[in-house]
């Protein structure tokens, strides 16, 4: 499996009177089509690591290679371009734009990228929503949908520009068990059937079990021995 | 519709009441800007028009811009010995060779010129006296350079031309002496000449002092009465374009030597006051728009604040900081443009209402309407200022929005 994302000795420190180390010397190789679950106690730096891997934040030290490019010294605009073309995000709270319909929300990244004509973008968005079982809801506003449905719209939006990697920050953290299972299965399928790389931060044991690889993070460092209590038994 | 514009429009349409409030600020600002500017500029132009109509555009007088050097100074320019009690050379008053000078002025394009000899006289009728100014004119030329023909209520300048012993007087003088057309009036000059002259014209300019003390006769008659044969002391010039007066006056003065005073130079203090008045007026109306732009600032700031999470998510999707900045500046621009369109419509309505106001001046027979200016320049000025205010007011919150770091927001929301 070729390395799609390589993180080397990543360190993220928040400066201040008392500097806070969020991520401390993390090195990671992520292959194409891999489904990785990042786990760890609260405050262990899971989300901070995800933001670094998702090019939303810059490491204080270390480097990140995405699809063969060292992005560690990229400008904000260059990072934004890479996020647009190569990455998709799903967050714990769906973070859909409230004034736009589901279809418009999914179309947004495609319109920003500009590779497709508006009609083509709409057709693709409708296809993605249809594939995720939301064909009858595409013209509704996010507020008219259930939590699980919103999260599926967020997944459709993350897939809009056919990214290499989908980064998910506790995607089931705010859902009931049925919706959690549905979201988990969708992400699993995306990795298995479509070859998408999934990196997800989670506390959800069943979600973690579905992953190809689980990475334990404690105090900002990878701890190979760490096993979450829910998985320990 | 571009992506940024469609997001901007969605933001504005989602907050209809707030958008309407900011919009009304700009609409009222533009409307009042136009109404006040139109009234002030209208009154200014009306004033200048009256000034231009009632006074010569250029007056060439028998004076020099700076006094001539006395012969003794010319002879001994760097004299080491001071000469005292030297008798100065006396200048004979009047424009020398005025006909040649008038011919030269006549040869210039787009102007009319008339010679005038003015002197002081005493008018006597039925034992009552009145000091007055007697102007000797050439009626057919005078008609071209002044509005006096329009002010004549009885008789005409043609009658003056036909009657070598005729005189035209003001209505105030006629009323004071109880004079009528055809009456004779004694005119006494400083050297003691007295001549009875027949009233062939009565005029009324509205200026009480002028109407009581100004009289007109033929140039030849005035030259004889004032004992200034073949002399005039003023050449009055009227231009097709009064605003060229300064430039033409300078040309004439350079060529003929006598002082040529343009109406602009003669009324420099008034023009300066008008400039100050305009500066104050534009500052005040611009302040209205600046205040109105705070409405836009408030709206965009609120949207930016409310949309911090959306900004973060859009940036995580791949929107650049400049896209975010543009979205919010477009919102200000849209508010500004719509505000300008409705502001101009309301402004025109206010101008129409002001145009209906009639003012009755006690001394004037007819009532007057407020003078208004409908020039395109003030519409452009209002639009540009409103647009700058709107964009300026939206730029600062837009910049703040563009600086949002997605991680800070996402971390806080998690």
User: What is the band of B354 on the pLDDT scale with cuts at 50, 70, 90?
Assistant: very high
A44 belongs to a structural domain: yes
Give yes or no for A116 touching B (CB within 8 A).
no
The residue-averaged pLDDT of B255-279 equals 89
A87 belongs to a structural domain: yes
The residue-averaged pLDDT of B371-394 equals 90
User: pLDDT tens digit string along B123-150?
Assistant: 998 888 889 999 999 999 998 888 888 8
Structure tokens that stand for B23 in this block: 């919009």
- SS3 annotation, B246-263: HHHHHHHHHHHCCCEEEH
A58 belongs to a structural domain: yes
Res B92 pLDDT > 70: no
Among the partner-chain residues A95, A99, A169, the one whose CB lies closest to the CB of B14 is A99
A215 belongs to a structural domain: yes
Choose the weakest-confidence range: A57-71, A170-184, B387-401.
Answer: A170-184
* B contacts of A56 (beta carbons < 8 Å): 316, 406-407, 410
A23 belongs to a structural domain: yes
Residue in A22, A89, A95, A151 to test binding to B, most B beta-carbons within 10 Å:
A95
Length of chain A: 233
* B contacts of A81 (beta carbons < 8 Å): 318
Which range of residues forms the domain containing residue A181? 3-95+163-232
Number of domains chain A contains: 1
Question: At A212, which CATH number?
Answer: 3.40.50.300
CB spacing of A51 vs B10 below 8 angstroms: no
A138 belongs to a structural domain: no
What is the predicted ipTM?
Answer: 0.89
Percent of chain B with pLDDT over 70: 94
Alpha carbons B414 and B313: distance in angstroms, whole number: 13
A109 belongs to a structural domain: no
């Amino acid at each position: 499996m070729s390395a799609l994302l390589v993180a080397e000795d990543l360190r993220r420190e928040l400066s201040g009177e008392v500097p806070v180390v969020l991520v401390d010397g993390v090195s990671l190789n992520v292959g194409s089509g891999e489904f990785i679950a990042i786990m760890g106690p609260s405050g262990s730096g899971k989300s901070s690591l995800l933001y670094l891997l998702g090019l939303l934040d810059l490491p204080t030290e270390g480097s990140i290679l995405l699809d063969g490019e060292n992005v560690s010294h990229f400008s904000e605009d260059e990072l934004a371009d890479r996020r647009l073309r190569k990455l998709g995000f799903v967050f714990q709270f769906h973070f859909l734009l409230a004034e736009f319909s589901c279809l418009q929300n999914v179309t947004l990244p495609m319109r920003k990228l500009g590779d497709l004509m508006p009609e083509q973008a709409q057709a693709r968005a409708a296809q993605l929503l249809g594939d995720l079982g939301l064909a009858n809801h595409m013209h509704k506003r996010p507020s008219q949908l259930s939590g699980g449905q919103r999260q599926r719209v967020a997944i459709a939006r993350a897939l809009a520009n056919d990214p290499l990697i989908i980064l998910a920050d506790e995607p089931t953290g705010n859902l009931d068990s049925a919706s959690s299972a549905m979201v988990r299965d969708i992400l699993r399928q995306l990795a298995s059937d479509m070859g998408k790389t999934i990196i997800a931060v989670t506390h959800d044991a069943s979600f973690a079990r579905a992953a190809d690889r689980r990475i334990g993070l404690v105090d900002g460092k990878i701890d190979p021995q760490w096993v979450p209590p829910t998985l320990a038994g | 519709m571009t992506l940024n514009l469609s997001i901007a429009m969605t933001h504005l349409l989602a907050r209809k009441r707030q958008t309407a409030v900011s919009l009304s600020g700009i609409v009222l600002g533009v409307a009042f800007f136009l109404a006040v500017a139109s009234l002030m500029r209208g009154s200014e132009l009306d004033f200048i028009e009256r000034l231009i109509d009632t006074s010569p555009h250029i007056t060439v007088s028998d004076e020099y811009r700076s006094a001539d050097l006395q012969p003794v100074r010319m002879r001994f320019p760097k004299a080491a010995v001071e000469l005292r009690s030297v008798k100065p050379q006396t200048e004979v008053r009047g424009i020398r060779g005025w006909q040649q000078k008038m011919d030269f002025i006549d040869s210039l394009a787009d102007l009319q010129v008339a010679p005038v000899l003015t002197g002081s006289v005493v008018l006597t009728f039925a034992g009552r006296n009145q000091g007055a100014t007697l102007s000797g004119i050439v009626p057919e030329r005078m008609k071209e350079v002044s509005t006096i023909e329009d002010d004549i209520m009885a008789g005409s300048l043609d009658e003056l031309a036909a009657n070598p012993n005729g005189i035209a007087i003001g209505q105030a003088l006629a009323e004071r002496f109880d004079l009528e057309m055809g009456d004779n009036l004694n005119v006494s000059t400083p050297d003691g000449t007295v001549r009875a002259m027949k009233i062939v014209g009565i005029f009324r300019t509205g200026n009480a002092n002028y109407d009581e003390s100004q009289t007109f006769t033929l140039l030849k008659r005035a030259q004889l009465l004032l004992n200034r044969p073949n002399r005039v002391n003023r050449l009055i010039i009227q231009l097709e374009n009064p605003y060229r007066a300064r430039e033409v006056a300078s040309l004439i003065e350079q060529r003929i030597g006598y002082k040529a005073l343009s109406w602009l130079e003669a009324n420099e203090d008034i023009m300066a006051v008008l400039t100050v008045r305009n500066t104050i007026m534009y500052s005040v109306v611009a302040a209205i728009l600046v205040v109105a732009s705070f409405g836009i600032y408030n709206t965009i700031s609120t949207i930016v604040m409310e949309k911090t999470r959306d900004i973060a998510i859009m940036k995580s999707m791949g929107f650049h900081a400049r896209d975010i900045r543009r979205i919010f500046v477009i919102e200000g621009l849209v508010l500004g443009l719509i505000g300008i369109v409705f502001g101009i419509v309301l402004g025109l309505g206010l101008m129409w209402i002001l145009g209906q106001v009639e003012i009755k001046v006690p001394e004037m027979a007819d009532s007057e309407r407020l003078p208004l200016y409908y020039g395109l320049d003030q519409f452009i000025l209002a639009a540009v200022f409103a647009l700058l205010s709107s964009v300026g007011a939206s730029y600062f919150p837009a910049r703040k929005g563009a600086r949002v770091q997605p991680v800070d927001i996402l971390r806080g929301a998690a």
